[in-house]
Chains A and B, each alone.
Chain A
Amino acid sequence: MRSRRYIWWWVLPSAILFLGIILIPFITALTYSFRSLSFTTSTATGQYIGVENYRRLVFDQDFYNSFKVTFLYMVPAIILQGLLGLGMALLIAGAVRRARILIPIMLLPTLLTPVVIGLIGVLTLNPDFGVIGQFLNRLGLVQGAVLGNSDTALLAIIAVDTYQWTPFVAVILTAGLLALPKEPYEAAQVDGANRIQTFFRVTMPLLWQYFVVAILIRVIDAFRIFDIIWVMTRGGPGTATEAVAVYAYRHTFRYWDLGYGSALIMVIFVFISILVEYLYKALQKWQTA
C-alpha cells in the first residue's frame, strides 16, 4: 500500500527522542561498564578493561548487601501491602461504588511527592516531637531515634512504603472487584455456597489477575526505591537501608566511579527487564481478555 511509506512520519519524532535520551545514553553506560573510568581516581583514564568491573562486582560485599537490603525490605513490604490492600479493597469497594471521590482521597499517599512522604516519615518518627516517634518511645518499643538504629531503620522504611503503597494495591483491587461479573455469584448462590466459599472459589480467581499486576508493579518498584530512603536515612545507618538504587547512586554520583557504577547499573537493568517481561505478559493477557 502506498500509505505504508507515511508510517514513519508518525513515529519518527518519538524515535529520535527515544534514541537521543534513552538508547544512546544506555549504550554509553554499557560501554562505560567495560572501561576504567572515574572522575576521582587519577589512574582511571578510560581504558578498556574488559569485564574487570563486573569481576569486581562479584566480590563486592556491599553489592550483595544492597540486594539483601532490597529483598529484606521488599518481601515483608509487599506481603503486608498485598494483604492490607486486599482487606482494604473488600472493605471499601461498596463505599467506592457510591462515592468515587474516595479513590483520589485514598490515593493521596501514593501520588503525592515521594520526597514529601519521606519527610512525613522523618517528622512523625522524630523521637523528640514526632507524633509516632514519641509514642513509640513512651511505650518503650524503641530507644531514641527510630531512623538512627540499624535494627529499626529498615522497619521504618517498610512502614512508610506500606503507608504510601497500600492504597495503590487496594484501589487496583477495588477496580477489579467493581468490574467482577455478576453471573458466577448467582451461580454460587444457587449452589448454596456460603460467603467464605464464595470468596475463595469465585472472588479470588476472578481477582487474581488484578492482584498479579499490582504485585508485579510493586516488585519492580522495589528496585527503584530511592527518594524515600534518601530523605529518611541516606542508606544508613551504615549500609542498613542501602537498597540497590541507593547503592548505585553512591558509586556514581558520590564516588564518581563511572565504570564500576555503570556495571552496577547494567546488573540492575537486567533484573528489571526480567521482571518487566512477566509484567508485560500479565498486562497483555489482560488487554486481550
Chain B
Amino acid sequence: MANNLNITSAARKQASAHSRRLLTWISYLLTGLLVVIFLFPWLWVFSLGFKTRAEIMSPNIVWIWTPTLNNFIEVLFVKGYWRLIINSLIVAVSAVTLCIVIGVPTAYAFSRFPIPGKESWFYMILTFRMAPAVVLALPLYVIFARIKLLGTYGAPILAHCTFTLPFVIWLMRSFFDDIPKEIDAAAMTDGYSRAEAFFYAVLPLVKSGIVAVALFSIIFSWNEFLYGLILTSDATRPVASQIPSLIRPHGTLWGEVCALATTASLPVAILIFALQRQLVRGLSFGAVKG
C-alpha cells in the first residue's frame, strides 16, 4: 500500500517535470516572439534609410531590395548634418561631466553627513527631476537671453544640468549608501582626511556606479528635445531637436530622416548594451539594486 503510493507520487513528479520543461520551452518561444515584435518597427524604420525614395513610397511594401547608402551620404555629408551629431556629443558630454564632478561629492555628503533638512532636499530634487521640461524652459529662455547665453553651447549644457544634476545626486547617493561607513572610518583612522578617504578608499568602490550614472545621463541628454530646440541656434542644435523639423506636411525626404534617426540612435543603443547590469537600478531611481 505504502509502496504503491510512492510509485504514483514518483510518476506524478516525473509527469510534472515533463510539463514544466514544456512550459519553459513555450515561455522561451514567446519571449523570442516578443523580442521580434518590439524590434520589428525599429528595424523597419531603419530599413527605410537604406531605400530609395521610390522603394519607400511604394504602395506595396518592398521587402527585398539592394541597400543604398545614398541617404546617409546626402543627409550627413552633403547637407552637413554630421554637425548635429557633434553638437549632441558636445552638449551631453559637457553637461554630464560637469554634473558628475560636482554632483558625486554632494551625493557622498548626503549619504554620510547630518545635513539639515536632508529629506526635504531630496524630495525637492526628485520633484524637479520629474517636472516636465516646459516648466523651466520658459524662465531659462528669458534668463539666458538676458545674459546673452542663448544660441551658445552653454545654454543647452546648463539646461541639461537641470535634469542631470538631480539624477546624479539621487542615484549616486544610493551607491554610496551601499558602502559601509566603516570603510571611511578605517581610512580616516589610518591617517586620511575626510576628502582623502573619499578619494582613496570610497571612490574606487563606486567607480562602476559612476560610469553607469554617467552613461545613463548621456542617454537622457542625448534624447532631450525641448531645451535643445528653443535654447539653441541652427549652429548649436543637437540632433534629436532637429529631426522633427525635417518632417514636413508635404515632400518629406523620409529616406534622409530615417538615415539621420538611425545614425542618432546608434550611440544610444551601444550605451544601453554597455549599461546592461545597471539598467534596472537607473530606471527605478536606485530603488532596485541591479
Contact = CB atoms under 8 A, between A and B. Distances in A.
Q: Find out whether A and B make contact in their complex, taking CB atoms under 8 A apart as touching.
A: yes
Given A25-B143, A26-B135, A226-B132, A131 B61 contact: yes
A171 B243 contact: no
B183 to A, nearest CB: 17
A185 to B, nearest CB: 14
A252 B134 contact: yes
B110 to A, nearest CB: 8
Contacts of A107: 272, 279, 283
A287 B177 contact: yes
A69 to B, nearest CB: 14
A143 interface: no
A194 interface: no
Interface of B is mostly: helix
B290 interface: yes
Contact of B288 (A6, A175, A265): A175
Contact of B38 (A10, A108, A223): A108
B161 A91 contact: no
Interface residues of A, number: 93
Most buried by B among A91, A104, A107, A119: A119
A277 to B, nearest CB: 7
A210 B287 CA distance: 9
Interface string A15-45: 1011011101110110010000000000000
Contact of B131 (A13, A252, A269): A269
Given A172-B280, A227-B226, A245-B132, A277 B61 contact: no
Contacts of A269: 127, 131, 135
Interface residues of B, number: 93
Interface stretch (B27-35, B74-82, B199-207): B27-35
A94 B27 contact: yes
Contacts of A223: 132
Contacts of B247: 119, 122, 231
A245 B275 CA distance: 30
B191 interface: no
Interface of B: 24, 27-28, 30-31, 34-35, 38-39, 41-42, 44-45, 48, 56-59, 61, 98-99, 102-103, 105-106, 108-110, 113, 115, 122-123, 125-128, 130-143, 158-159, 161-162, 165, 169, 174, 177, 194-195, 219, 222-223, 225-226, 230, 240-241, 243-244, 247, 254, 257-258, 261, 264-265, 268-269, 272-273, 275-277, 279-280, 283-288, 290
Interface of A: 3-4, 6-7, 10-11, 13-15, 17-18, 20-22, 24-26, 28-29, 32, 88, 91-92, 94-95, 100-116, 118-120, 122-124, 128-129, 131, 134, 163, 167-168, 171-172, 175-176, 179, 210, 213-214, 217, 220, 223-224, 226-227, 230-231, 244-245, 248-249, 252-253, 258, 261-262, 265, 268-269, 272-273, 275-277, 279-280, 283, 286-287
Given A24-B139, A213-B284, 16 more contacts: A4-B113, A25-B140, A91-B30, A124-B41, A128-B57, A131-B61, A168-B283, A172-B288, A213-B287, A226-B133, A227-B226, A231-B243, A231-B244, A249-B134, A261-B138, A283-B287
20 contacts: A6-B194, A17-B102, A28-B142, A91-B34, A94-B27, A105-B38, A105-B39, A107-B272, A107-B283, A108-B269, A109-B38, A109-B42, A110-B283, A115-B241, A210-B288, A230-B244, A231-B243, A231-B244, A261-B138, A280-B126
